[in-house]
A and B are shown apart, each in its own frame.
Chain A
Amino acid sequence: MLTEIQEGKALNPVVRHITQEKINLYAEASGDFNPIHVDESFAAKTPLGGTIAHGMLNLAYVSEMMTSAFGRSWLSGGKLRAKFKESARPGDTLTINGKIDCIEQKDDVSYANCSFECRNQKGEIIVTGEAIIKLSSDKR
């Protein structure tokens, strides 16, 4: 967890390598077997040209970064808004970065407003978004 919660503070990045095996595992766990994720021959014939990772798999890495920074405050008081800009594909290495943009006080409760992005090895943005975490009073 972050020892200091302050504006401008960068969150510890998460780096993950995407493989077809991981996509298949995610399909099995989630029950989402959309062929665009798991059927390589079907996906090759679509405009996407091949399989893509589930958006929620990419978002799971974002949540991992937030959990590592904010612990239970994130798990039972977090809020996020994410846009899936590009698809992550087998072979991609994703790096998730985030930072605390500002800390707001509303009705005696502190909220950390964060921004995050997930980029592939080419620097292309895969996911971008914002998160709000309700902080307990002893965090400041």
Chain B
Amino acid sequence: MPDKTITYEGLTPGYKFPPAVYELSASFVSKYLKAVDSVDDGFVPPLAITACAIAAMTKSIPLPPGTIAIHASQELEFFKLMSIGATIECHIGVAQKIARGKMSMLILEIEVFDKSKEKVQSGRATIALPA
């Protein structure tokens, strides 16, 4: 997933990271449910899917080591329930990059699709970073 050739300065609106593919395995869902203190309802919690997308996103952003990036806001829309064992593809792109004093805001668009390219969820994340 990480594009080793891109730098943080090179992230401009419209830039798309290479897609990341995840399998929503039983062991992943079980770990997720344990982490969030929830119970198995027979489906993959939508926020478990978002967690994959966010992980893909954080691994993709080329930041200098030691940089503290804070998740400032999140928008999400859920379209489709996924079953355990399904495969998803996360697409992440840069929507906006804003400098505000000593902080920089990176706004990323997230889209998640299933194997048949149907949209599972979409969203927008705002990450605050030191400028």
The interface-forming segment of A1-9, A51-59, A99-107, A118-126 is A51-59
Chain B contact residues: helix, strand, loop or mixed: mixed
Contact-size category for B: 35 or more
- Chain A contributes a number of interface residues (CB within 8 A of B) equal to 37
Inter-chain contacts of A67 with B (CB < 8 A) = 41, 45
- Whether A78 contacts B46 by the Cβ 8 Å rule is yes
Inter-chain contacts of A72 with B (CB < 8 A) = 81
On whether A76 and B81 interact (CB within 8 A), knowing A26-B35, A46-B68, A82-B73, the answer reads yes
Q: Closest approach, in angstroms, between the C-beta of B68 and any C-beta of chain A?
A: 6
B83: CB under 8 A from chain A? no
Inter-chain contacts of A29 with B (CB < 8 A) = 28, 31-32, 34-35, 48, 51
Q: Closest approach, in angstroms, between the C-beta of B91 and any C-beta of chain A?
A: 17
Inter-chain contacts of B41 with A (CB < 8 A) = 67
Q: A47 vs B74: C-alpha distance in the bound complex, in angstroms?
A: 23
Q: Closest approach, in angstroms, between the C-beta of A37 and any C-beta of chain B?
A: 10
- Some 19 contacts from A to B, beta carbons below 8 A apart, are A25-B35, A29-B28, A30-B52, A46-B68, A56-B54, A59-B50, A59-B74, A60-B45, A63-B46, A63-B47, A75-B45, A77-B79, A80-B74, A80-B76, A82-B73, A82-B74, A84-B70, A84-B72, A84-B73
Which 4 residue pairs across A and B have the least CB separation, nearest first? A55-B71, A25-B35, A30-B51, A31-B55
A59-B50, A81-B75 provided; 5 other pairs, C-beta below 8 A? A28-B31, A30-B55, A31-B55, A59-B47, A81-B73
